[in-house]
Structure formats: structure tokens, C-alpha cells
Amino acid sequence: MSNSHLILIDALNLIRRIYAVQERPFIHAKNQDTGELSASTQQQVIANTQAACNIALEKLLFQQQASHALAVFDCQKPCWRYQLFDGYKKGRKKMPDALAQALTDIQDSFMALGVDSLTSEEDEADDLIATLATKMAIHGKNVTIISTDKGFLSLLSPNVKVYDYFNRRYLDQDYINDKFNVRSSQLIDFWTLTGDSTNKIPGVPGIGSITAAKLLNEYGSIKALENATDLKPAILDKLHDNKQQMELTKTLFTLKSDIPLGFNLKDIRLPHAEH
């Protein structure tokens, strides 16, 4: 069916941001002794979060005119990226326990709206989403990923879009030009050179975003850079000295697209889209 439109929700990206918004008004009034919210306040924040998540999902389904939808969650244990690199996401704020305990209820309320949840045994949500988006795009289906995570931007194609619910905008090639000044297909190489402070992934020392964009716009890719005969010796040395680090960084940034999935598109068809 040509007018299929699958929306893939990066669930924890959506839920944790909504939680932060709901928690904010209570923070200044928190218990001064412990610095923590009281149990009743915490319950209130969770209830507000759940209600706001439902409203967000209803808005997204309507606005995106989705025929299929899935909320994708991270696995509970650290994924393969942590095993490859123990500094991955170091210092990242842990999910509040109360929110972690409420996830099942939030998944149930999503299900009541016809949206099933998917959690992997060992992969990050990003890899599951990338696998689904890639598979659907190959078959000519339209996919919109709902996330503020820039890691998805390397997947952009005529059939794959990324939508930021909070800023009400598509993160498209114009957005990438403004932010990184490269093409979406060059982003993995760009981040391999610059690293990513958010996820604590190191890049090549001495190559910042301006230099990385300039090099990629001129030469096209890291592979072409490594084979260039007219590159400044200082840059060539940096690439040569950091070859192993770059290989690791590139692996960490590359989203998997081949995870075996145990369901078909028809399994995640929205009830209103049934014919």
C-alpha cells in the first residue's frame, strides 16, 4: 500500500523530556532538607507526565496521519556500545526511579491508543529504529522518526524523515546545513572526526567542527582524505595517529540496520487505519 506512513517514536527521548518539563515547576518547592521531591509530589509529577505523554502521542498520530506506529524503548541492560567503549555516555543523568517504575503504565496507556511498544534484549532504541526505518524505506514506505536525537539524521532519505515534537519542526537537510554544514550522508564521518561530547565519544584531537566540515566539503569522505595527496601534513598526521580511535568512533556512531525483527508491518497497523 503506497500511502503507508510509519511513525517510530524514540520513546525515552519523548518521555524523559516530557518528565523534565512536568518536574520543573515542583523543583523550586522541593524538600529543602533532602533536595528530593516528596513521595506525593513525585506521584503528581508521574501522573502529569503520563497524561502529557498521551496527549503528545494523540497529537503526533493525528498530525502525522500515521497508518502504523511503534514506540521503541531502550533495553534495560547496557547495550553493545558500552561493551566496546566503557566511557560511552559517562556521566549521563540516570532515569529517576519513579519514572522507570512508571514506564509499564505509560506503555499500557500507549497501547490503549493503539500504539504497541518494542524493547530489545540487547540493542539501543536507536538501532531498532534504524533497522525498521531502513527496511521500510527499501520497500518505498514513508517513515517519520519522532526524536530530538541528532544520531538519526544520518538516516535521512526521500522516505525517512526526523521530526522534533518539542520544537515542532522537521530536522531536515537545511537543519543539518545550519548546524553541521555537511550533507546527511557525511554526518558519520563528520562525528568520527569531531567526536560527540553529549555521548562522551572522543574524536580526533585538534579537529573541530569547522575544520571537519571544511575537509568533508572539499574531499567528500574520510576515505578520500586518507588517500589525498595534497592534504596538509599536520592533518594527515592527525588522521594517521588516531586511526584506531576513528574506527571505534565510527562504529559507535553507525546505527545498526540489520537487527532481526519478530513482527510484520501489519502487526503495528493503527486501529483507525484498518480497512
Query: Is 253:188 a contact under the CB 8 Å cutoff?
Result: yes
Task: Among 27-31, 80-84, 143-147, 170-174, name the one with the lowest average pLDDT.
Answer: 27-31
Measured between alpha carbons, how far is 177 from 154 in angstroms, rounded to an integer?
13
Q: 207 labelled as ligand-binding?
A: yes
Buried/exposed code over 158-196 (b: 16+ C-beta within 10 A; e: otherwise): ebbbbbebeeeeebeeebbeeebbbbbebbbbbbbbbbb
Give me the pLDDT at residue 1, please: 42
pTM for the full predicted model: 0.93
Q: 126 labelled as ligand-binding?
A: yes
pLDDT interval class at 194 (50, 70, 90): very high
Supply the DSSP symbol for 94: P
Report all structural domains of the chain as residue ranges with CATH numbers, in order of start. Answer: 5-175+256-273 (3.40.50.1010), 181-253 (1.10.150.20)
- Percent of the chain topping pLDDT 90: 73
Over residues 203-223, the pLDDT tens digits come to 999 999 999 999 999 999 999
Q: 202 labelled as ligand-binding?
A: yes
pLDDT interval class at 30 (50, 70, 90): low
Give me the pLDDT at residue 273, please: 67
- Percent of the chain topping pLDDT 70: 95
Closest CA to 116 of 1, 265, 3, 255: 265
Query: Is 48:112 a contact under the CB 8 Å cutoff?
Result: no
Give me the pLDDT at residue 120, please: 80
